[in-house]
Chains A and B, each alone.
Chain A
């Protein structure tokens, strides 16, 4: 069994300040972990993925995430928020055979000017 918990349903930041989106997972297998972003009325876009290589993963648009096995966490960060970062972010785990994704509940990010 696998599950994902995104610890904040909403995050509000000012433009130019750091962004932190928290994610905890559980999996019976060695997981692959993903962060996807969804802008309004758009599909899901892959930001980055962890697949058991380097624990610090760099993605698109300045985002990065760190896999911490001891804490079962995969938090997403960006040093400086931009207005275009306003969107919903999903943490996703894939730890089972068959490539079955389990999505977190999502974190909606608001960026204030």
Chain B
């Protein structure tokens, strides 16, 4: 079974530039998550999709971050304009059902963003 795919794996940009990350979840998984992991910390949820609808985006800085999940499969996360403090690893995860505590989230390899 293929895992969660993410691209690019690494990205270096200058502050105020824009950047986009792509995620392809495990086939058949209804729920998709984007996390931000700052160096030395645990991941923090940015946004959760159930199929192509947003379930939770309470931690997403909406003035600069946006995300979409067209057709309930792939997803993109965009930052515009980037700030120095956005330097982090952006992890995508997916789960079969979502909405129940026993559901397991499977993570992709992440995209490491460096903002100079």
Which residues of A come within 8 Å of B, CB atoms? 29-32, 34, 36, 41-46, 49, 51-52, 90, 92, 94-101, 103-106
Contact B48 A43 (CB under 8 A): no
Instruction: Bin the interface of chain B by size.
Output: 20 to 34
B residues with CB within 8 A of A = 4, 6, 31, 40-45, 48, 55-56, 91, 93, 95, 97-110, 112
Task: List chain A residues, Cβ under 8 A from B31.
Answer: 99
Distance between B53 CB and nearest chain A CB, rounded to angstroms:
13
Q: Assuming A98-B55, A99-B31, A105-B41, is B110 touching A43 (CB within 8 A)?
A: yes
User: Which B residue's beta carbon lies closest to that of A45?
Assistant: B107
B110 close to A51 (CB less than 8 A): no
Please determine whether A43 and B109 come into contact, CB atoms closer than 8 angstroms. Answer: yes
A–B complex contacts, Cβ < 8 Å, 16 sampled: A32-B101, A41-B109, A49-B104, A52-B102, A98-B56, A99-B48, A99-B98, A99-B99, A99-B100, A99-B103, A100-B45, A100-B56, A101-B45, A101-B105, A103-B44, A106-B42
